[in-house]
């Protein structure tokens, strides 16, 4: 399994939702919880929430340094 995304078990642990109830699937309940908690995620074709591990761990998703902002040469000379 990839270290990039949380596993289905980790999503269940994070959300506290392991089974469906009240006429909703487990995935629907997990998506509702993630939305109300403000955790960024995608939904795959099966309706399963996909969460980047970096969103939970609070680290940057890339190792690239930030790019310098473009500035016209006329302003850079001053």
Q: How many CB atoms lie within 10 A of CB 27?
A: 18
Q: How many domains does the chain have?
A: 1
Taking every pair of Cα atoms in the chain, the longest distance, rounded to a whole number of angstroms, is 66
Per-residue pLDDT of the chain (78 residues; tens, 9 = 90+): 568 999 999 999 999 999 999 999 999 999 999 999 999 999 999 999 999 999 888 766 566 677 778 878 777 665
Residue 65 lies in a domain: no
The residue segments making up the domain with residue 44 are 1-60
Residue 68 lies in a domain: no
d(CA 56, CA 69): 28
33: helix, strand or coil: helix
Residue 67 lies in a domain: no
Whole-model pTM above 0.75?
A: no
């Amino acid at each position: 399994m990839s270290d990039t995304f949380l596993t289905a078990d980790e999503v269940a642990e994070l959300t506290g939702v392991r089974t469906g109830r009240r006429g909703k699937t487990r995935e629907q309940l997990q998506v509702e919880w993630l939305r109300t908690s403000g955790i960024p995620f995608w939904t795959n074709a099966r309706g399963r929430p996909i969460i980047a591990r970096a969103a939970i761990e609070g680290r940057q998703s890339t190792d690239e340094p930030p790019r310098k902002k473009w500035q016209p040469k006329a302003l850079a000379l001053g």
